[in-house]
Each structure stands twice: as C-alpha cells, then as structure tokens.
Amino acid sequence: ALPVIDVPFDRIGVDVIGPLERSQAGNRFILVISDYATRYPEAYPLRDVTAKQIASALLKFFSQVGVPKEVLSDQGTNFMSRIRQQVYQLLGIKRVRTTPYHPQTDGLVERFNQTLKNMLKKFVSDSGKDWDKWLPYLLFAYREVPQASTGFSSFELLYAHQVRGRLDVLKESWEATDSPKTKNILTYVLKMREKLQQSTALARENLISSQVQQKR
C-alpha cells in the first residue's frame, strides 16, 4: 500500500474516462484528478486525449493548487512522460529533478471514476449531449459527501470547514428580502435543490458501495 499523504496535493492521481458520447461542445473524454490527502476531485472535459490537451488541463489545476510532488496514473509510463514534458514546456521549465510518475493509483482514482460514471448516467439528457454541463454540479455534490475512509468531506479536509454552497447563498438572499426577483430565485432554488439532492444521495450511495467492495 502507498504511504498516507498528509499535505494536500503533494500526490495526485490522474486518469481519463471515455470515449463518451460527444457533447454539444464537442467533448468526448474527462480528465479526472484526485488528491490523495483530502480525496478532493477535479475533472476537465476534453475533446481528445492528447498529451498537449491533458497538460493544458493539468496546468490549470496546478495554477490553483500548486505543482504536486507525485502524479500517479495507470495510463502508461511513456504516455505520462510525454504529458510531463508538455507540462514543463508550458511552465517554461527546461530541466528539473522530479519524482517519477508511478504506474499505480492504489484504487483511489478508479473508485472515483466509477462514482462519476454512475452520477453522469443519472443526469445526462436523453441524447447524452449535455453531460459536460453537469460536471461542476456533480463534483460539488461529491466534495460535500463525507468519505467513509476519513469521516470528513473533501471540502472539510481541504478548507477545515464545510463550504457555503449555492443553495446557502440563495436561501440567505430569499430570507433577507421579499421582492419579485427573489421569488424567481426561489423557483430556481427549488428546481436546483432537487437536482443537487439527487447528486448528493447518489454520491453517498456509490461511496458506501465502493467502500464495501474494497473491504471484501
């Protein structure tokens, strides 16, 4: 087993889901990133699986959390090596001493991939062409769910407190005023609440299921 990581984003796991049905935006793949310390997930829709596209997505992620010490993947050593070279090129780094990419992810990314796939199936349209529009909502729901392995949500482990979600902000706005505009907001809240509750319930269900299977 891999050693426990205490520092957020020192070690991340990456993987690619797809090909999926092409979205209206032309996306067919998802780059999935999972932090080993907090279990915090991120996902980026991709049109194609190329080293340049994945490197660009990783660079966006690194600009928010910093450059990790280790990146684990099951995509293959040569493939990840090309991605690493692309990342360094985009960062303007010519030579750097690094920890090699490892060919194992210890199951963390695989479990998240399966959860994400199940959640996507719940929320895509009949044609399946709007799946990438749901990614932010599904990720938020996943981050709010306490992990069986830690007892805390990814948000809590990363920020040391549970975050205020969109529903919290809209609820406060509704309670503070009683204008027609706010009533329209309430209608939106009621519609979105049902969607987010379904996301959260599904995330909980899949997390419990994955933990049970892991113990077998």
Residue with tokens 């060919």: 103
What is residue 4's predicted lDDT score, i.e. its pLDDT?
60
CA distances from 104 to 51, 100, 164, 176 (A): 19, 12, 35, 51
Nearest C-alpha neighbor of 121 from the set 68, 198, 48: 198
CATH homologous superfamily of 11-215 equals Ribonuclease H-like superfamily/Ribonuclease H (3.30.420.10)
* Cα three-residue angle 33-35-41, rounded to 5 degrees: 50
- Cα–Cα distance between 59 and 64 in angstroms, integer? 9
What's the DSSP call for residue 102?
B
pLDDT tens-digit series, residues 13-49: 888 888 888 999 999 999 989 898 888 999 999 999 9
Q: How far, rounded to the nearest angstrom, does the alpha carbon of residue 65 sit from its chain's CA centroid?
A: 13
- Cα–Cα distance between 141 and 193 in angstroms, integer? 11
What is residue 70's predicted lDDT score, i.e. its pLDDT?
83
Longest distance between any two alpha carbons in the chain, whole Å: 60
What is residue 16's predicted lDDT score, i.e. its pLDDT?
86
In tens digits, the chain (216 residues) has pLDDT values of 455 667 899 888 888 888 888 999 999 999 989 898 888 999 999 999 988 899 899 999 999 999 888 888 776 667 778 888 888 788 776 654 445 555 555 576 777 777 877 777 776 665 578 889 888 888 898 898 887 777 888 998 888 888 887 667 766 766 665 555 555 656 666 666 666 566 556 666 666 666 666 666
What is residue 96's predicted lDDT score, i.e. its pLDDT?
45
Q: What is the CA radius of gyration of the chain?
A: 19
pLDDT tens-digit series, residues 72-94: 877 666 777 888 888 878 877 66
* DSSP one-letter string for 155-208: HHHHHSSPPP-HHHHHHHHHHH---HHHHHHHHHHHHHHHHHHHHHHHHHHHHH
